[in-house]
Amino acid sequence: MVKVRDFLGRYRLARLIRLGSTCQVWEGIKDDGSHYALKVLRPEQRGNKTEIGFLKHEFEVASNLNHKNIIKLIEYCTDSETPFIVLELFSEINLKQALRRGPEPISYMLTSMVEQIVESLYYFHSKGYVHCDIKPDNILVNRDGMIKLIDFTIAKKVKTGIGKLFGGGSKVEGTRSYMSPEQIRGQSLDARSDIYSLGCLLYELLTGKAPFTGNTPNDLLSKHLSATPPSVLVVNDNVTPEFNNLIKKLMAKKPEDRPQSMWDVLKTVRATPIFKKPPRIPETSIFDDFPTGGRMENPS
């Protein structure tokens, strides 16, 4: 891997936290000694105008958000060889990593985490946006079970008024395992698309696997379009029938058959127990697999 220079603007690069397909996330130390997370394009992507546009878009969407369960974006920097985003430094483990030993180790925190996830999305929607990429990878969690929603790269402004009539033909973006039928079709999206993806996420948090799989990408997308949502109870019989039914409703194929807002989902989540019996607290923490809180990459 190409080593980046030791400084970006006023930030000294302390360690590489995560390596993605187009971006790196570093811990950066500002000249005043404060610590942040820096989202930086990988060296081979630094002249890619499309990726630079995604980075700028993410900052424009999320820079004015202020919610305890949404990662805080602090600044968009262009005073170096490549633009980068400065974020608050939070836990480095996401829910996808937390699930690598199965759903049981996080079950005891799940009731609180689910409510936090829904609250973050309710707030995000109240600002007029759809996230469009709700999945375990995009939710960070710390040792206390606090979560933060991240990655607003493909978030879209909800069309209102006459704009709703001209919402077709959108570029199809998202993660196949969690995309709503209307997202797959490139239709105009509103909060109900994220509600579908939330249903897929909750299924995975309770079973350890995504609701649909396919032999090919098109096979997987086809199942989102037409296959009956699976029952959580087949995999996890400690889930209440009421919560299982809620997940199925969230994953209804037609948007009009789902809850119509994240506020409706939040009210139902608060009133619906997830488990028949309280899950036990595990003897070892999921964080024991990550000595410093998250996955470390060798930056050299």
Residues belonging to the active site: 133
* CA gap 27, 49 in Å, rounded: 24
Residues 6+ apart with CB under 8 A from 252: 196, 229, 258
Task: Extract the tokens encoding 223.
Answer: 């199942």
- Supply the angle between the helices 241-250 and 262-271 in degrees, to the nearest 10: 170
Amino acid at 49: K
- Supply the angle between the helices 241-250 and 191-207 in degrees, to the nearest 10: 140
DSSP H or E run through 241: helix 241-250
| Cβ(103)–Cβ(114) below 8 Å | no
Classified as helix, coil or strand, 197 is helix
Q: How far is CA 181 from CA 104, 106, 145, 261, in A?
A: 30, 29, 31, 17
Max Cα separation, the chain? 56
| Cβ(67)–Cβ(123) below 8 Å | yes
* CA gap 43, 41 in Å, rounded: 6
Q: How far is CA 193 from CA 14, 130, 133, 165, 275, in A?
A: 38, 8, 10, 17, 26
DSSP H or E run through 266: helix 262-271
